[in-house]
Amino acid sequence: MHANPIPVKALFASLAVAALTSTPVHSNDTSAVLGAGGLSLTTSDHIVMASEDLYLSSSEVRVHYVFRNESDRDITTTVAFPLPDIDQSAFATVFLPVEDHENFVGFQVTADGKSIRPKLEQKAFTDNGADVTAVITKAGLPVNSKLPGWEDKARALPENVWRKLVEQGLIEEEDPSDRSADFSVNWNLRATFHWEQTFPAGKAVVVDHRYKPIVGGASIFSDEAQFKDYARYCLDEQGKAGVRHLLQAAAKADPEKPSGIAPNEVSYVLITGTNWKGPIGDFHLTIDKEKPHAVLSLCMRGLNKTGPTTFEIRRKDFTPTEDIGFVVFEGQ
């Protein structure tokens, strides 16, 4: 029997103390939050997850695992860290933490304290699911169009190669008669880090990884009408009062500037982590709003305040049934 799953639909009261912070406010637009998650193993009937210690914040995700091979033989299997699909369109509202690098979330991993250099698989898919990786790479382009110099490389393609990409709908031109005009690309980047990991018979293996989450949300929250956009995080009256206080503090801090605060949305994919034997023996979650006067809201029961910015929960024999999502409102 699996004990104590987290009921995500239950209301967790928003935690708010309002004051001025130092987050800059930019233009009034919205960026997309994209949920990555933890590690994925090739399904195994012998490897158990003895424990998972998960730390979530707007600036970093850290996960500490203890896996145990309960069989009488060593098992070598693929361990993967899949990233969310990234829309490569110039109009996509996705801002990558390390935008000018193939490792655009700064992923790092160790096993038993030793650093691992995982392989990175990158593929390109259209919105209808067609794999166009070979077409793009044959043209001489990386599938990650966010890399430095990518646009210049694309503009320098031979005319027949460029035209083929346009005809296939992978490049959309603003002005077909002018190669120097703006253009956008129409595919999604699917990136996965992976490596082979050996789990010795009857022994535990400790795996740690960290990365920067792809955070979303409006770059300016300035009007209470926007509260409806955050209903999915169970923002209650206490939380709304805290957000109002932040707005007032921002307005007083610099009356000459448009008042507003910055909400950061974070999503963590938890339910993919079920391809080992049995439930997670000991699950520990820490959510850190990072600034004492920020407002944190999410739909989760059982979190306990453990510090000025941290909230924690523990579960024994835990089987994930829901992903995790939260919003943090910060002042200017």
92 occurs within a structural domain: yes
The mean of the pLDDT values for the chain is 85
Residue 10: how many CB atoms within 10 A of its CB? 11
168 occurs within a structural domain: no
107 occurs within a structural domain: yes
Average pLDDT of span 23-28? 33
Residue 5 has pLDDT above 50, yes or no: no
Residue 304: how many CB atoms within 10 A of its CB? 9
146 occurs within a structural domain: no
Domain count, the chain: 1
Distance (Å) of CA 48 to CA 59, 72, 261, 277: 29, 14, 43, 5
In angstroms, the CA 157 to CA 210 distance is 37
Collect all residues with Cβ–Cβ distance below 8 Å to 106 and sequence separation of at least 6.
97, 98, 210, 211, 212
Question: Which pLDDT belongs to residue 220?
Answer: 84
Q: Which residue has the tokens 């091979």?
A: 69
Residue 217 has pLDDT above 90, yes or no: no
Q: Domain holding 17: CATH number? A: 2.60.40.3680
Q: Each residue of 275-312: pLDDT tens digit?
A: 678 889 999 999 999 999 999 999 998 899 999 999 99
161 occurs within a structural domain: no
67 occurs within a structural domain: yes
307: its two tokens: 């510090």
Residue 330: name the closest of 267, 213, 245, 235 by CA.
245
248: its two tokens: 């007032």
The answer to whether the beta carbons of residues 75 and 46 sit under 8 Å apart is yes
Q: Each residue of 61-95: pLDDT tens digit?
A: 999 999 999 999 999 999 999 888 889 886 678 78
Q: Each residue of 157-206: pLDDT tens digit?
A: 999 999 999 999 999 999 998 988 999 999 999 999 999 999 999 999 99
222: its two tokens: 């300035």
36 occurs within a structural domain: yes
Range of the domain at 203: 12-121+191-330
Of 143-152, 207-216, 237-246, 247-256, the one with minimum mean pLDDT is 247-256
Q: Each residue of 108-148: pLDDT tens digit?
A: 999 999 999 999 999 999 999 999 999 999 999 999 998 99
Question: What are the b/e assignments for 173-186, b being 16+ CB within 10 Å?
Answer: beeeeeeeeebebb
72 occurs within a structural domain: yes
In angstroms, the CA 192 to CA 328 distance is 28
- pTM as predicted: 0.84
